[in-house]
Homo-oligomer: A and B are copies of this chain.
Amino acid sequence: MALIVQKYGGTSVGNTDRIKNVARRVAKSRAEGDQIVVVVSAMSGVTDGLIKLSKEITPLPSEREMDMLLATGEQQTIALTAIALHAAGIPAVSLTGAQAGIVTDGVHTKAKIQNITPAEVHRLLDAGNVVIVAGFQGQTEEGQITTLGRGGSDLTAIALAAALKADLCQIYTDVDGVYTADPRLVPTAHKLPEISYDEMLELAGAGAKVMQLRSVEFAKKFDVIFEVRSSLNENPGTIVKEETKSMEDVVVRGVSIDKNQAKITVEGVPDQPGRAARIFKALSEAAINVDMIVQNVSHAGGVRVTDISFTVDKPDLLKASKVIDGIRPDLAFTNVSTDESIGKLSIVGVGMRSHSGVAARMFETLASEGINIGMISTSEIKISVIIDSKDGDRAVKAVHQAFIG
């Protein structure tokens, strides 16, 4: 008898027919003799509807009260899912995050899970129930309701799988698994049977939409093997797990394009120690995430100056520009320019560590397509380049063709 944690996202529980579909899937798994814990998100649209209500009242609602408000979305889904399981003849009990023993810190709207006491979940499982847990939410030690932020339901599932020492954790979503590239862009893209945590992390960071970074990081930290698969068919998905020796045979696991970034260039920064630090400290204090950073070599001349370019999420561009303008008197740079029409093309693969010439081959491929490279950034298992966004789709196809086929 295995213990399986299954997580169903907002579109998988988007209406009562889909919730009944989830109940059928759970019933089938249970018929195989396994203990099942189901983690569900809010029905798609519910969270947005609640946010809209709050914004009708004030543009900046209190984060504590937003948690109180948004936690109801998942609570509704757990109840409806339990009701659907009962209708399918399966004993089932729903639990809020708090009832499931999920204790978080007190940082409302983006709380971190501190620990999980799964005694009640175990008790209900042992009594023969399917246990349905509200994703995305927890409770502080003082009894305050908290939510975990974006991707929080995945995190709930993976954290519960760790705490319960589950045999399997399945993340059901509206895609079949993790692909070598977006199949809508690249017809030859194929689903990966498995991928390492690090590759998954780099792909998530590179704009692949399957999962949030933090859930994968959590899984890696607690060694939770999980499968990403579709709730709409029976196809096997992609297993995400610790790297194995055989994974290194593949140089490039996936290719992605992220068009949600914008580039800022700070020109003519005096080339003195601490100038760059001041830029990124100011951005960090404004809670703006910076992704790629490139500092060019200094220009020769009287006072040596340099250009510093970096990318931020597109919605943060205006805020970031203002922050940079604010430190102009202090930093004495000459100009700031921004560019929203960029794309970040990335290739990811643990095989890069043992294969040389990967970057050269990527750059040659782009050159042969006449695609110009603006910025380059590399990690041990990823190479990212900034290109013009209009070249993005063509670049993904060409690079996929060159490395994967």
Contacts and interface: CB of A to CB of B under 8 A. Distances in A.
A84 B57 contact: yes
A169 to B, nearest CB: 24
Counting chain A residues whose Cβ lies within 8 A of the other chain, the interface size class is 20 to 34
Contacts of A19: 57
Interface string A68-96: 11011001101110111011000001101
Given A99-B143, A143-B99, A79 B66 contact: yes
Nearest to A95: B68
B99 A83 contact: no
A223 interface: no
A244 interface: no
A326 interface: no
A269 to B, nearest CB: 42
A65 interface: yes
Nearest to A83: B61
Contact of A76 (B62, B72, B80): B72
Interface in A40-74: 50, 53-54, 56-58, 61-62, 64-66, 68-69, 71-72
A56 B16 contact: yes
A16 B53 contact: yes
Select the residue from A19, A64, A80, A93 with max chain B CB neighbours within 10 A.
A80
A147 to B, nearest CB: 12
Contact of A80 (B53, B143, B145): B53
Contact of A57 (B50, B75, B87, B143): B87
A57 B82 CA distance: 10
A86 B58 CA distance: 9
A344 interface: no
A20 interface: yes
Contacts of A87: 57-58
Interface of A: 16, 19-20, 50, 53-54, 56-58, 61-62, 64-66, 68-69, 71-72, 75-76, 78-80, 82-84, 86-87, 93-94, 96, 99, 143, 145
The 10 A-B pairs at the shortest CB distance, nearest first, are namely A69-B79, A72-B72, A58-B87, A68-B79, A16-B56, A61-B83, A65-B79, A65-B82, A57-B84, A72-B75
Given A54-B83, A62-B82, A99-B143, 10 more contacts: A19-B57, A20-B57, A50-B76, A53-B76, A66-B83, A69-B75, A69-B76, A71-B75, A72-B75, A75-B75
